[in-house]
Amino acid sequence: MAAARRLSEGSIEAMLLQAEPVERPVLQLITIRPISTGNGPPRYRMLMSDGVNTLSSFMLATQLNPLVDDQSLTANAICQINRFIVNTLKDGRRVVVLMEMEVLQPGHAVPAKIGNPVPYTEGKAPSPAGPLAAALWPCLSTWLNRGRFPAAAAPVFSVDALG
């Protein structure tokens, strides 16, 4: 078996937020399934992992369908994403459309899911780990949300008002 490939940890969030360029992230395909499109070529929705997070909002561009047809793209495959676009749906959800992709390791060569990724939830801070942090988090969260920071009590002026 080939040496295990390292996934681009944190790249799913970076791809969605588009705050900084993400160049050729390496992701693992967890599942792939066809979606009904009516007419036209088949479309595929994928659950992908970066080793930290999973996201089910990946779509395969139809020009990449041959990767599915020839069984190159199967569960556990390691893929390098060479080009992608992020579309925002009417309801605000984001979809990552994979435009160019290379299968670095086929699924049959990768025995299992890499790491312990958790589903990505947009806009949520990671939960604190450990029993003590979990017990203290509600109190800390309440305190933070009450705006008990000195800066929060300071008046806010527009730049024009300062002139």
**Is 138 or 38 the better-scoring residue by pLDDT?**
38
Q: What CATH number does domain 11-115 carry, 3.30.390.50, 2.40.50.140, 3.40.30.10, 1.10.287.70?
A: 2.40.50.140
**What pTM does this model have?**
0.72
As a whole number of angstroms, the distance between CA 141 and CA 162 comes to 34
pLDDT digits (tens, 9 = 90+) for 82-118: 999 999 999 989 999 999 999 999 999 999 999 999 9
Q: Is the pLDDT of residue 146 over 80?
A: no
Q: Report the candidate in 86, 21, 24 with the shortest Cα–Cα distance to residue 57.
A: 86
Q: Do you know the residue count of the chain?
A: 163
| Per-residue pLDDT at 78 exceeds 90 | yes
- Residue 18 carries which DSSP code? -
pLDDT of 48-60, one tens digit each?
A: 999 999 999 999 9
List the Cα angle 22/25/26 in 5-degree steps.
Answer: 170
pLDDT digits (tens, 9 = 90+) for 23-71: 999 999 999 999 988 888 999 999 999 999 999 999 999 999 999 999 9
Contact 93, 73 (CB under 8 A): no
Domain residue limits, the chain: 11-115
The number of beta carbons lying within 10 Å of the beta carbon of residue 43 is 15
The H or E element that residue 27 is part of is strand 26-35
Token pair 């527009």: residue: 158
- Report DSSP state, residue 146: T
